[in-house]
Amino acid sequence: MSERSRATDLLPLGAVVVALLAVAFPAMADAGEAAAILARADAPRTALSEARMKLRVTTSRTGAAAFAGEFAVLVKGPEKIRIEFLAPADRGKLLLVNGKDAWLVLPGTKNPIKVPRSHRVTGGFAVADVARTRLVDDYDAVVERREEFGGRSCDVLRLTGKKGRDPAFPVLRVWVDREEGRTRKIVFLLPSGKAAREATFDEWGSLRGVPTVTRMTIVDALRPGTTVVDYLDAEKATLDDALFVPPARAAVPGR
């Protein structure tokens, strides 16, 4: 076989390699772009990763009177959360989260009640809604599409749980404002692909000089009704780990 024939035979293989590279490099670029978009959107969560907050939560459903309650919240990263109920009827009640453990502490009782970390505080409002989780730590992102949401041009990211991580929802779809880099909407998906809940970040502002979401609306597909969370106050803080341990456990040596 001549050199010319061998070169001609190799052309199809070379064409395939070039085509594969043309597909691979844009995909790598897209992954890098998605990671940068997600990191920018995560910045407000990082700013208040250890903080004191005060929230008002209003739940409403068809045929029932709306309920509103206020809560004092302490967060220390995504693993430590303390929620104090401020409504007169619930005063003294605490919900504590420390790692994978969660307890409900009722006034006048000695022993905390072990509850799932997914425990709902009220209505569609759950512990995960105040955990200052950096999505970029738990998920890989790709840009799925670009579309308008609430009159704003948004990148729509599809997030899938990273290998070795165990987020509560394996897949999220996140709308990020292209101009301001703020999260505008998150849809939480079940492994089946069905939407479990949706959160819209309706208002953004500044609390004590820190840019943050100030109003969020949650619609839970598994629980009828709408929950609106208003962030009344928030400030950075340095918090003692003992604040996130139930009193009865803290009093027992070696526990």
Give a yes or no: residue 30 inside a domain: no
Q: How far is CA 177 from the centre of its chain?
A: 16
- In this predicted structure, what is the pLDDT of residue 232? 95
Give a yes or no: residue 37 inside a domain: no
| CA–CA separation, 221 and 196 (whole Å) | 5
DSSP assignment of the chain equals --HHHHHHHHHHHHHHHHHHHHHHHHHHHHHHHHHHHHHHHHHHHHHTSEEEEEEEEEEEETTEEEEEEEEEEEEETBTEEEEEE-SGGGTT-EEEEETTEEEEE-TT-SSPEE--TT-EEETTEEGGGT----HHHHEEEEEEEEEEETTEEEEEEEEEEPTT---SSSEEEEEEETTT--EEEEEEE-TTS-EEEEEEEEEEEEETTEEEEEEEEEEETTEEEEEEEEEEEEEE----GGGGS-HHHHTSTT-
Give a yes or no: residue 136 inside a domain: yes
Go through the chain and tell me how many residues it has: 255
Residue 205's DSSP bridge partners are 212
| CA–CA separation, 232 and 124 (whole Å) | 19
Q: Residue 222: CB partners within 8 Å, gap ≥ 6?
A: 196, 197
- In this predicted structure, what is the pLDDT of residue 21? 39
b/e sequence 210-223, b meaning 16+ C-beta within 10 Å: eebbbebbbbbeee
Give a yes or no: residue 104 inside a domain: yes
| CA–CA separation, 92 and 86 (whole Å) | 8
Give a yes or no: residue 140 inside a domain: yes
Query: Residue 240 corresponds to which tokens in the numbers above?
Result: 């003692």
C-alpha angle 23-25-29 in degrees, rounded to nearest 5: 120
- In this predicted structure, what is the pLDDT of residue 126? 74
- In this predicted structure, what is the pLDDT of residue 94? 92
| CA–CA separation, 242 and 230 (whole Å) | 27
Would the pTM count as exceeding 0.75? yes
* Domain around 146: 45-250
- In this predicted structure, what is the pLDDT of residue 54? 96
Identify the residue whose tokens are 């907050």. 53
Give a yes or no: residue 196 inside a domain: yes
Q: Which amino acid is at 108?
A: G
Residue 151, number of CB atoms within 10 A of its CB: 5
CATH number at residue 164: 2.50.20.10
Give a yes or no: residue 35 inside a domain: no
Q: How many domains does the chain have?
A: 1
Identify the residue whose tokens are 């394996």. 170
- In this predicted structure, what is the pLDDT of residue 131? 67
Give a yes or no: residue 190 inside a domain: yes
* pLDDT tens across the length of the chain (255 residues): 544 444 444 445 444 443 443 443 344 447 789 999 999 998 888 888 899 999 999 988 877 777 888 999 999 988 899 999 998 888 889 999 998 899 999 998 888 999 887 777 876 777 767 666 678 888 999 999 999 999 999 999 999 999 888 787 889 999 999 999 999 999 999 888 889 889 999 999 999 998 899 999 999 887 778 999 999 999 999 999 999 999 865 444 444
